[in-house]
Amino acid sequence: MSIATFIPTIWEARLLAHLDKNLVYGNLVNRDYEGDIRQQGDTVKINQIADITVKDYVKGKDITIDDVDGTPTTLTVDQDKYFAFKVEDVDAAQANVNLVDGAMNRASYAMRDVVDRFIAGFHTDAGVTTGLGTDATPLAITSATKAYEYLVDLKGALDDENVPADGRFVVVPSQFYGYLLKDSRFVSAGTQKTDAVLANGYIGTAAGFQIFQSNNVPNTDGSAYKILAGTRAAISFAQQITSTEALRMEKAFSDMVRGQLVFGAAVIQPKALACMTANFK
């Protein structure tokens, strides 16, 4: 491959394919508004549906009509990241497609880490936290039994908010996963179905959750993990590769490949997102 044969749309597709395959948090959000963004600074107004009240009907009196529009949420594309790498003697090598593809894979891995950490940071906007620990008094996970019991508590907290049971997820750190592996109620990795999706962090099911493991679970002050649970309705995410191009470097026998990714997210259904604060003793 050479600069002359570098087709940005093809490499953008490969970059996004690598990126989406490796996301954990990024695959647990909805992308309903992704097609509405083009560049950094774009915003999308997401209208919310207000509660509808059932009232008593009194014959002869006017009915009261509810306004269906609730308070809108704004999704702002406020993150702008780039990557750039060089490939030696691209024009002369004639066999660098695998090299560039491998570099794109690494670039997407790095981008994935940035995107996942960004989305994980929305634990601060979770609407369900009561009884699930705080920074000052995190829940202490000391055994497999405790780990499972706290999953049940998370389930109950979402149940109390009438969050649909279908499609619930929870993202746990490696220590939590280690405890779950010791509990027979947990459907652990090792089955054909589980192994097929392990690349996305999926590790099994328990207490009504699809369970994902990630090293990007926020750990405030190094002692309190923020374990998110909910449904994909909670967070809306949008990303767009705005530019991918190859350039000949002026002072080296190399080609440079660079790309730019813009993205943003917003919690649009806070009650569909629970956050448990826990540590491991």
To 10 degrees, what angle do helices 97-120 and 8-22 make?
50
Task: Report the alpha-carbon distance of residue 78 to residue 163 in Å, rounded.
Answer: 29
- Residue 214 Cα distances to 58, 116, 161, 168, 172, angstroms: 56, 9, 26, 16, 6
What digits encode the pLDDT tens for the residues 27-40? 899 988 877 666 66
pLDDT score, position 38: 66
pLDDT tens string 168-223: 999 999 999 999 888 877 765 455 554 444 556 788 888 999 999 999 999 987 77
Domains of the chain (ranges plus CATH)?
3-122+237-262 (3.30.2400), 128-234+271-280 (3.30.2320)
174-189 per-position pLDDT tens digit: 999 999 888 877 765 4
CA nearest neighbour of 185 among 160, 152, 153, 215: 152
> What mean pLDDT comes out for the span 138-153?
93
pTM (two decimals): 0.81
Q: Residue 103 — pLDDT band, cuts 50, 70, 90?
A: confident
- Reading the block at residue 126, the tokens are 């979770």
